[in-house]
């Protein structure tokens, strides 16, 4: 360990070239050093290894037994260091075999993962994608450990400490089944509140959301009769009943059997963000994936 502390990389490079050239003058020329500098390096190396390393010979210098022992391990170490400090190789999606882990709830699956999926399979056919649901509080730790590569979450509710990129802004619309008798005309606020509503409660069991907070500020309350944890079930429930819901517009865009109506209450829009950890911020494969998804939504 003491010898390791006394070494620097330049000494090891000099020793490698000296063992190859077995001539101080030739080694100096190859290293672009002066001959005295190489001699100084050799003196330090002899002191560190407690061995002459190179002895005068009839045609230059000949390595000692200790130097011969060092030759191959030294070459391997320098090659490994070269790979460590060399620029990262460009990412080739066509040849990639990555397995990416993405955290997304059903809304993110439908509005972000699904639009990117066909293009991702075509561009990177050898890769795999695992989509999991992770509570926001666990995201930073899982991302730091490398268990999660990307996460999709509302920008406002996203946990701190992660890189983020805003993907799009989303707004709420009133949705009911096609031909719903109460949605043929524009609703008043009172009529809106009297309808039977379904609400998405990601935590489960809640009957109060952002729409209800806006209504409460106006002294109003709507009739929420169904609470579910997933958006996709809401679409099917609305198609099969006279329930209505305030849903993100991208979730019901071009959805069969549903009609979108102007709501008499203005619910603030929100932004969807893509999140990732610093550990993979500069990784070429990860950067490619982020750009691909951002360009697909």
pTM across the whole model: 0.71
Same fold, 2-85 and 172-268: no
Residue appearing with tokens 């059997």: 257
DSSP E strands, 15-103: 54-57, 60-63, 99-103
Q: Count other C-beta atoms under 10 Å from residue 25's C-beta.
A: 11
Q: What is the pLDDT of residue 1?
A: 43
β-pairing verdict for 128-132 and 196-200:
unpaired
d(CA 56, CA 134) in angstroms, rounded, equals 68
Identify how many contiguous H helices and E strands the chain contains and give both numbers: 13, 12
Domain locations along the chain = 2-85, 94-169+272-294, 172-268
pLDDT at 87: 63
Of 26, 23, 18, give the one whose Cα is nearest residue 57. 23
At the topology level, CATH places domain 172-268 in: D-Maltodextrin-Binding Protein; domain 2 (3.40.190)
Structure tokens at 122: 């075509």
List the pLDDT tens digit at each of the 297 positions of the chain: 455 566 678 888 999 999 988 888 888 898 889 999 999 999 999 988 899 999 987 777 899 999 899 989 888 888 888 777 766 678 999 999 999 999 999 999 999 999 999 999 999 999 999 999 998 889 999 999 899 999 999 999 899 999 999 999 999 999 999 999 999 889 999 999 999 999 998 777 789 999 999 999 999 999 999 999 888 899 999 999 999 999 999 999 888 999 998 899 999 999 999 999 999 998 999 999 999 999 999
* Assigned token pair, 47: 């002191």
If you classify domain 2-85 with CATH, what class do you get?
A: mainly alpha
Indicate the fold that domain 94-169+272-294 takes in CATH.
Answer: D-Maltodextrin-Binding Protein; domain 2 (3.40.190)
Three-class SS state of 29: helix
For residues 12 and 17, what is the distance between their CA atoms, to the nearest angstrom?
9
């Amino acid at each position: 360990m003491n010898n390791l502390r006394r070494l620097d990389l330049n000494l090891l490079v000099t020793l490698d070239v000296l063992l190859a050239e077995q001539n101080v003058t030739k080694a100096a020329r190859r290293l672009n050093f002066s001959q005295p500098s190489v001699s100084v390096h050799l003196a330090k190396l002899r002191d560190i290894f407690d061995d002459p390393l190179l002895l005068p010979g009839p045609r230059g210098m000949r390595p000692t037994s200790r130097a011969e022992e060092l030759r191959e391990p030294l070459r391997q170490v320098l090659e490994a260091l070269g790979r460590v400090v060399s620029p990262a190789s460009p990412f080739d999606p066509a040849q990639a075999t990555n397995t990416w882990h993405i955290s997304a709830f059903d809304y993110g699956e439908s509005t972000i993962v699904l639009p990117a999926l066909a293009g991702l399979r075509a561009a990177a056919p050898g890769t795999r994608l695992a989509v999991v649901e992770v509570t926001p509080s666990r995201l930073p730790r899982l991302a730091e450990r490398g268990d999660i590569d990307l996460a999709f979450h509302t920008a406002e509710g996203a946990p701190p400490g992660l890189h983020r990129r805003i993907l799009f802004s989303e707004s709420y619309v009133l949705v009911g089944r096609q031909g719903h008798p109460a949605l043929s005309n524009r609703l008043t606020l009172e009529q809106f509140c009297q309808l039977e509503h379904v609400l998405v409660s990601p935590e489960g069991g809640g009957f109060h959301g952002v729409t209800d907070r806006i209504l409460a500020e106006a002294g109003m309350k709507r009739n929420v009769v169904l609470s579910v944890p997933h958006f996709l079930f809401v679409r099917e429930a609305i198609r099969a009943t006279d329930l209505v819901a305030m849903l993100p517009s991208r979730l019901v865009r071009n959805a069969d059997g549903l009609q979108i109506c102007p709501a008499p209450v203005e619910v603030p829009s929100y932004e969807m963000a893509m999140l990732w950890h610093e550990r993979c911020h500069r990784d070429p494969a990860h950067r490619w994936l982020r750009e691909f998804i951002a360009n697909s939504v």
